[in-house]
């Protein structure tokens, strides 16, 4: 009897899981279809004069504004009760606003995604040697410690200001002829890349250091016993395991960078938050604009975490821990 109940419960839970996954896939396809479609249109068709033009909406917002005006201030009598229709009008207003600002949000999302992806990728190549030096560097580990503590101990915004205003990076980059031309972003974007790469590398180095210390020292001893040098043992035995262990922490760092990329707006990088805040300042519709901004951020963050979970499952090694093992343990 109890077995029959457990089976029915499992089937019901599996049905809910399948429905939830299906809805998530549909939402994800719609979200990325909008973003990619918008980018491709602005970069190609809009440049040859096809369609409404770069930065212009595909759909007119006037019908939704008209519908909102119709519903606002009216009531719908249902039996003896009068239902105010202001909320319906607010929904139509929100749709009209979303249509109007969607091109700007899509353009800002491109800067946010590129800034985050490039920074975490470049930061990885700095973080690995810094983490290895911290664990296996002997007296030189203090150099790694000083680097990570200096970067982690100072605000990211202050680091961006130092790079942007305090160093001559802006002058050097501004003298490069291709910077700011065509598809190449302005120099502020490249300075933001440098700042986020340095900041992200310090946090990634700590994540990797923690994963390095979780690998049994006996494995490095065994690697030396079969003839590998210390550096080869770290390269071929310790690091392959370490990088797998560090994926959940990397996911956290990726989410952190996506959200904190908004700080790049303070040095005039036209990323997502920068564009939304400028629109809100000019229209004074702060609440609906920031609500739409939050939806775009959530879409990007959920996509990033889903991608990292997929990577973690793909690279996990059975028997030494990984996403599959944790999921099985949670189901018991």
Q: What is the pLDDT along the chain (332 residues), one digit of tens a residue?
A: 444 556 777 777 777 778 888 888 899 999 999 999 999 999 899 888 888 888 888 888 888 888 888 887 777 777 777 777 778 888 888 899 999 999 999 999 999 999 999 999 999 999 999 999 999 888 888 999 999 999 999 999 999 999 999 888 888 888 888 777 777 888 899 999 999 999 999 999 998 888 888 888 788 888 888 888 888 888 888 888 888 888 888 888 899 899 989 999 999 899 999 999 999 999 888 999 999 999 999 999 999 999 998 888 888 776 665 555 555 444 44
Looking at residue 33, what is its pLDDT? 94
Answer whether 189's CB lies under 8 Å from 228's CB.
no
Looking at residue 131, what is its pLDDT? 92
Residues 6+ apart with CB under 8 A from 89: 67, 68, 69, 70, 71, 72, 73
Answer whether 188's CB lies under 8 Å from 134's CB.
no
b vs e for 179-208, b when ≥16 Cβ sit within 10 Å of the residue's Cβ?
Answer: beeeeebbbbbbbbbbbbbbbbbbbbbbbb
- Could you give the CA distance from residue 14 to residue 328 in angstroms, rounded to a whole number? 15
Answer whether 214's CB lies under 8 Å from 268's CB.
no
- Could you give the CA distance from residue 238 to residue 211 in angstroms, rounded to a whole number? 10
Q: Which two tokens stand for residue 161?
A: 């200001």
Domains of the chain: 103-318 (1.10.3720.10)
Q: Could you write out the DSSP letters of every residue in 59-91?
A: S-SHHHHHHHHHHTT-EEEETTEEEE-HHHHHH
Surface-to-core class of residue 123, CB atoms within 10 Å of its CB (0-12 exposed, 13-18 middle, 19+ buried):
buried
Q: Which two tokens stand for residue 319?
A: 């028997």
- Ramachandran region, residue 73 (left: φ > 0; alpha: ψ -120 to 50; beta: rest): left
Looking at residue 329, what is its pLDDT? 43
Looking at residue 88, what is its pLDDT? 83
Residues 6+ apart with CB under 8 A from 322: 244, 312, 313, 316
Surface-to-core class of residue 156, CB atoms within 10 Å of its CB (0-12 exposed, 13-18 middle, 19+ buried):
buried
């Amino acid at each position: 009897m109890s077995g029959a109940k457990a089976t029915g419960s499992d089937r019901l839970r599996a049905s809910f899981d399948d429905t939830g996954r299906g809805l998530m896939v549909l939402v994800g396809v719609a979200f990325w279809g909008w973003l990619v479609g918008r980018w491709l249109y602005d970069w190609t068709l809009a440049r040859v004069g096809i369609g409404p033009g770069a930065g212009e909406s595909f759909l007119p917002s006037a019908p939704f504004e008209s519908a909102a005006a119709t519903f606002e201030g009216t009531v719908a009598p249902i039996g003896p009760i009068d239902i105010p229709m202001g909320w319906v009008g607010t929904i139509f207003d929100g749709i009209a606003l979303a249509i109007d600002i969607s091109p700007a949000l899509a353009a800002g999302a491109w800067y946010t995604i590129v800034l985050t992806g490039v920074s975490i990728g470049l930061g990885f190549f700095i973080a690995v040697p810094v983490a290895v030096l911290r664990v296996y560097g002997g007296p030189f580990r203090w150099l790694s410690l000083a680097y990570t503590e200096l970067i982690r101990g100072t605000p990211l915004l202050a680091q961006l200001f130092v790079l942007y205003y305090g160093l001559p990076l802006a002058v050097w980059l501004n003298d490069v002829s291709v910077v700011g031309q065509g598809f190449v972003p302005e120099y502020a974007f490249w300075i933001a890349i440098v700042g986020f790469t340095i900041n992200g590398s310090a946090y990634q180095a700590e994540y990797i250091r923690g994963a390095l210390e979780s690998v049994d020292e006996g494995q490095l001893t065994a690697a030396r016993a079969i003839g590998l040098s210390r550096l080869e043992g770290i390269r071929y035995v310790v690091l392959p395991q370490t990088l797998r262990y560090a994926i959940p922490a990397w996911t956290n760092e990726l989410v952190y960078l996506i959200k904190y990329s908004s700080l790049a707006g303070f040095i005039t990088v036209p990323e997502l938050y920068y564009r939304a805040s400028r629109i809100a300042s000019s229209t004074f519709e702060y609440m609906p604009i920031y609500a739409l901004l939050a939806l775009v951020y959530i879409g990007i963050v959920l996509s990033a975490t889903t991608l990292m979970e997929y990577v973690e499952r793909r690279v996990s090694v059975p028997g030494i821990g990984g996403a599959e093992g944790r999921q099985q343990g949670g189901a018991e």
